[in-house]
């Protein structure tokens, strides 16, 4: 279970990246470009480093007769050396030696004192816009520190020597030749030698060299870092946009929202947007498969009237109803396509038929149902001549009534459904959007089945959830959902078949060959 959830999350993330690729790419390019431009226009700086090596043997304290500590760790010793280099009064001496308008603030700002691990090596680094000046400051500071420590050590030895000589002077002739006297004489001799030899506990281990390349800015590194930050920013924006984008993005969302099975996926195709009924084989096969799935509901009940609904305008329910009715009619069934959208009908425009008397005229008794019904000759899916089948269409009519809701709820509408059900094998009903208007709600309990259409990338989750709550309490015979303009579930080839068909949900075990789905009475 956990692995499936992880896989689903990864799939959803990939879907978000695909949908928001433009935003992600734009952020990546802008931030990387800004980092590149900033690095290119930023002044070049050079860093040079000299190395100081400390002698941590505590020889001077031993010679001076002072107590030494063997418990001092290398890290603690290094911290002490760092503090010694940082707080020493070397900056002013460096300024006096170099001149060139330098100040103590500038020298301190350019310096960086750091240790190397737990060793006795201290780095004295200097950064400047001039590579020569950077090396000069680092070397001067290091050499002045060594001289300062040398002077301090000399004073230390001279002071210690004076103290030892004072102790010797206080001894009697007999005590001077004793053990203590001889020790003091040896110590005085050593201190005198160290003072003359200028023994030092620190020395310059490595002088700073003039750098050949700048230490900053690093154009390549800054650009790569900017690209990474831009990518993260783009992903963040993509996630925020996805969070506030209420559109349904994948067909599986329709199944989850309505808690209904997927009857089929209608691919995004320019052929579905044109007038007329002829479709390429792939698109035609998609509707044949949807019809085949509907036929499975005929096992225990007579499914003759199917209402095609959607929550909002633009979901494509009229297109779905038209081509579903066409697929059933091509199989030899007697099919009526009934338009009950008496506010903004579009079926006549889709079919290119004459806009005359229609359902509105039938409901007010102005014309019989047979006289208002028009027959449309169907073409073969390939468009190569007529297929010899017709589709009966009862459009809304040219004159629209002021009270469409009352007409659809009237006894006359019930009689239209009864007569259509007795005269046709299948009646496909195209309705107005159920969330936009309530005209078609009285029909939900009067039909044999209701199919919900959702347009991937267009239908809103809140509208779908609202319709789901309404339908759940209406008692409507819900059959399933159809995902319109689905980009997933591409053509799935069938061995030995003449063409491929869009992939659809196969939980109900529907065959995938149109020859296996031969029509029967009741469609």
Model confidence pLDDT, tens digit, residues 86-135: 877 788 888 888 887 888 888 888 999 988 877 888 899 999 989 999 99
Share above pLDDT 70 across residues of the chain, in percent, rounded to a whole number: 83
- Specify whether the CB–CB gap between 502 and 267 falls below 8 A: yes
Least confident span in 193-197, 451-455, 457-461: 193-197
CB contact at 8 A, 50 and 127: no
* pLDDT for residue 359: 92
Spatial separation of the C-alpha atoms in residues 23 and 339, rounded to whole Å: 42
* 8 A C-beta contact, residue 469 and residue 479: no
Q: Tell me, what DSSP letter sits at residue 296?
A: G
- 296 and 289 in contact (C-beta within 8 Å)? no
Average pLDDT, the chain: 80
Number of C-beta neighbours around residue 287 at 10 A: 26
pLDDT in tens, 367-409: 999 999 998 888 766 545 455 788 999 998 888 888 988 999 8
Tell me the pLDDT tens digit for each residue of 160-182. 888 888 888 888 888 877 887 78
Candidates 461, 469, 9; CA nearest to 245 is 461
User: Residue 298 has which token pair?
Assistant: 């005929």
Answer yes or no: are the C-beta atoms of 443 and 475 closer than 8 Å: no
Q: Are 42 and 216 in contact (CB under 8 A)?
A: yes
For the cut 80, the answer to whether the pLDDT of residue 513 exceeds it is no
Closest CA to 506 of 304, 262, 223, 283: 262
| Cis amide leading into 217 (omega within 30) | yes
CA distance 515 to 344: 38
User: Can you give the pLDDT at residue 418?
Assistant: 93
- pLDDT digit string, tens, across residues 240-282: 877 776 777 778 888 888 888 888 888 877 777 655 556 777 7
306 within 8 A of 448, measured Cβ to Cβ:
yes
% of the chain residues with pLDDT over 90: 22
Residue 365 DSSP symbol: T
Q: So what's the pLDDT on residue 307?
A: 94
Express each pLDDT in 331-364 by its tens digit.
Answer: 888 999 999 999 888 888 888 888 888 899 999 9
In order of start, what are the domains of the chain with their CATH numbers?
A: 43-216 (3.30.1890), 259-493 (3.40.50.300)
Report CA 287 to chain centroid distance, whole Å: 35
- Whether residue 481 contacts residue 260, with contact meaning beta carbons closer than 8 Å, is answered with yes
Among the ranges 292-301, 420-429, 472-481, which has the highest mean pLDDT value? 420-429
CA-based nearest residue to 484, from 464, 513, 512, 509: 464
User: Under 8 Å CB-to-CB from 380, ≥6 apart: which residues?
Assistant: 278, 386, 387
């Amino acid at each position: 279970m956990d692995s499936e959830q992880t896989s689903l999350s990864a799939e959803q993330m990939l879907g978000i990246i695909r949908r928001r690729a433009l935003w992600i790419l734009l952020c990546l390019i802008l931030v990387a470009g800004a980092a590149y431009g900033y690095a290119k226009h930023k002044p070049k700086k050079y860093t040079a480093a000299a190395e100081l090596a400390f002698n941590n043997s505590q020889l001077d304290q031993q010679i001076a007769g002072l107590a030494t500590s063997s418990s001092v760790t290398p890290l603690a010793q290094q911290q002490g050396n760092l503090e010694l280099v940082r707080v020493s009064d070397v900056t002013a001496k460096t300024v006096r030696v170099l001149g060139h308008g330098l100040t103590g603030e500038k020298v301190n700002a350019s310096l960086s004192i750091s240790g190397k691990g737990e060793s006795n090596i201290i780095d004295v680094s200097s950064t400047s816009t001039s590579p020569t000046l950077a090396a000069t400051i680092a070397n001067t500071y290091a050499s002045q520190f060594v001289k300062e420590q040398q002077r301090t050590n000399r004073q230390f030895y001279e002071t210690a020597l004076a103290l030892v000589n004072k102790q010797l002077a206080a001894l009697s002739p007999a005590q001077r030749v004793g053990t203590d006297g001889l020790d003091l004489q040896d110590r005085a001799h050593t201190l005198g030698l160290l003072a003359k030899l200028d023994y030092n506990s620190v020395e310059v281990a490595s002088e700073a060299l003039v750098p050949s390349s700048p230490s900053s800015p690093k154009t390549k590194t800054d650009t790569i870092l900017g690209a990474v930050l831009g990518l993260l920013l783009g992903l963040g924006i993509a996630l925020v946009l996805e969070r506030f984008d209420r559109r349904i993005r994948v067909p599986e969302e329709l199944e989850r929202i309505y808690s209904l099975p997927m009857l089929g996926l209608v691919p995004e195709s320019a052929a579905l947007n044109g007038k007329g009924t002829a479709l390429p084989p792939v698109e035609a096969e998609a509707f044949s498969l949807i019809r085949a799935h509907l036929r499975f509901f005929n096992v225990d009940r007579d499914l003759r009237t199917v209402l095609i609904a959607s929550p909002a305008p633009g979901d494509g329910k009229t297109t779905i109803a038209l081509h579903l009715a066409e697929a059933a009619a091509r199989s030899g069934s007697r099919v009526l396509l009934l338009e009950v959208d008496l506010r903004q009908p579009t079926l006549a425009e889709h079919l290119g038929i004459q806009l005359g008397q229609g359902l509105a005229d039938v409901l007010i008794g102005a014309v019989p149902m047979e006289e208002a019904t028009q027959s449309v000759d169907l073409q073969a899916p390939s468009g190569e001549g007529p297929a010899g089948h017709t589709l009966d269409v009862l459009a809304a009519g040219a004159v629209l009534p002021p009270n469409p809701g009352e007409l659809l709820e009237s006894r006359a509408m019930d009689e239209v459904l009864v007569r259509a059900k007795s005269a046709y094998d299948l009646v496909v009903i195209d309705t107005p959007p159920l969330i936009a208007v309530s005209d078609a709600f009285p029909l939900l309990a009067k039909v044999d089945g209701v199919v919900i259409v959702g347009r991937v990338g267009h239908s809103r989750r809140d509208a779908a959830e609202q319709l789901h709550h309404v339908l759940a309490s209406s008692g409507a015979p819900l059959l399933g959902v159809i995902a319109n303009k689905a980009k997933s579930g591409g053509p799935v080839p069938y061995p030995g078949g003449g063409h491929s068909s869009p992939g659809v949900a196969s939980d109900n075990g529907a065959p995938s060959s149109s020859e296996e789905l031969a029509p029967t009475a009741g469609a």
